[in-house]
Amino acid sequence: DGGITQSPKYLFRKEGQNVTLSCEQNLNHDAMYWYRQDPGQGLRLIYYSQIVNDFQKGDIAEGYSVSREKKESFPLTVTSAQKNPTAFYLCASTGTLNTEAFFGQGTRLTVV
């Protein structure tokens, strides 16, 4: 079945450590997105990528980095520069034309 997979579902890290969140899709979608969601709030765009080897900053890119070496994969690294990394992270992908976005089930990151 085609879909978008995020792993792991829950992630714990110590403060000061970098951590990479995985996002993989087998939908042959060109575009992929990363969002952050804090309790009781909407989705905020971190980074997005329209094609392989290209990506753009979203609204809250500081303290995060991404890569897009393969069409299927768009990993997000939460660096130690991110002041408040504990949050729910969602990955999405879209195809061309007026197709809807597909979302992963999210990774809940807790930094202690």
Partner 1 sequence: DAKTTQPTSMDCAEGRAANLPCNHSTISGNEYVYWYRQIHSQGPQYIIHGLKNNETNEMASLIITEDRKSSTLILPHATLRDTAVYYCIVRVAETSGSRLTFGEGTQLTVNP
- Could you list the residues that contact partner 1 (CB under 8 A)? 30-33, 35, 41-45, 48-51, 56, 58-59, 88, 90, 92, 94-106, 108
Burial 2-39 (b: 16+ CB within 10 A, else e): eebebeeeebebeeeeebebbbbbeeebebbbbbbeee
Nearer to partner 1, 85 or 104 (CB): 104
Query: Minimum distance between the CB of residue 36 and partner 1, rounded to whole angstroms?
Result: 11
Nearer to partner 1, 84 or 98 (CB): 98
Q: For residue 45, what is the enclosing H or E element?
A: strand 43-51
Query: Minimum distance between the CB of residue 109 and partner 1, rounded to whole angstroms?
Result: 13
Nearest Cα neighbor of 10 from 79, 75, 105, 93 is 105
Nearer to partner 1, 75 or 95 (CB): 95
